[in-house]
Amino acid sequence: MSKPVLLLTRRLPDAIEARAARDYAATLNSTDEPWYRDGAEIARRAAATGAQGILCAAGDPMNAATIAALPDSVRIIATFSVGYDHIDLAAAKARGIVVTNTPEVLSFATAECAFTLMLMAARRAGEGERMVRAGKWEGWAPTQLMGVTLEGKALGIAGFGRIGRELAAMARGFRMRIHYRDLRRAPEDLEQGATFHDNDETFLRAIDILSMHMPGGDATRKWLNADRLAMMKAGSLVVNTGRGGSVDDAALAAALRSGHIRAAGLDVYDGEPRIHPAYLDLENVALLPHLGSATIETRIAMGERALGNLDAVLLHAKVALDRLT
């Protein structure tokens, strides 16, 4: 029997591309050419190859127009991400296309990134690194680049899912107090003593550090706006490794400039790879290029999870483990 045809929109780890090439008639994007940003080009390549499956990634424009233009051969879209707000699920469902994601395997790595940003913001690590590289460091001084400790601080986790709970576990090792905001209270065994808040105001007023782990979409669009920033204590820290669109960039930049927010650490951006220009002029914000899941181990695990979903549908005629539609 001929192998199912699979289209990969992005360059993936070597082990994942090797497995895809072994089990499928795979078209790879081994040079990571930017055609993956163009939905019409994705549809054109799917049609040209007769793709039965598409392995896409976060940021690929799998919107209604792209899905409408896909050939009838496409049976499954597997995204190399836990988030799926770049895919129009209703459009895929209407065409009978299965959509899957890669949950569970990237929680620790993303929490690790959030904790990195917390430390960078609290201890002014970005400023110090830039000072050294610029040749401006003149030696140790008692008042140089004084930051704040994480010890004893109240960490507020907005979105207490897998990533948020992993971050809470790390923070307990730094003797931090955990507060969280979610739609509903977590079971006691998952809460592990964390304090639940059922409204934004009590949550934001109680914390010293906000770490955002919200899903994307209209419900969380610009959630962290001027009003909510004003609820936070003067000198608070903000970290976002969730969705860039959850932050009102102009409002956060203004709060950083005024000092009401002491510092921030960002790994995701609204409209990335574009970054709000105000951040680039601020020393008190640490900026990372969407590194949340960027460990060798995690990216391979994500690829294996995505291929497992593809295998279920295209090789074994089974229901995919992580089916969304």
Q: Which residue out of 185, 290, 304, 323 is catalytically annotated?
A: 290
DSSP state of 218: G
pTM equals 0.94
Give residue-wise pLDDT tens across range 134-167: 999 999 999 999 999 999 999 999 999 999 999 9
Q: Nearest CA to 182 among 167, 194, 198?
A: 198
Name the helix (H) or strand (E) containing 119: helix 107-123
Q: Counting beta carbons within 10 angstroms of the beta carbon of residue 317, is it exposed (0 to 12), middle (13 to 18) or buried (19 or more)?
A: exposed
CB 36 within 8 A of CB 56: yes
Is pLDDT at 278 greater than 90 in this prediction? yes
Is pLDDT at 1 greater than 80 in this prediction? no
Instruction: Give the pLDDT confidence score for residue 72 in this predicted structure.
Output: 98
Mean pLDDT value across residues 18-38:
95
127 a catalytic residue: no
Instruction: Give the pLDDT confidence score for residue 216 in this predicted structure.
Output: 86
Taking each continuous run of H as one helix and of E as one strand, the counts in the chain are: 13, 12
Mean pLDDT of the chain: 97
Q: Which residue out of 243, 276, 299, 305 is catalytically annotated?
A: 243
Distance CA 264, CA 240 (A): 8
272 a catalytic residue: yes
243 a catalytic residue: yes
Q: Which residue out of 260, 272, 304, 323 is catalytically annotated?
A: 272
Is pLDDT at 86 greater than 90 in this prediction? yes
Mean pLDDT value across residues 225-241:
98
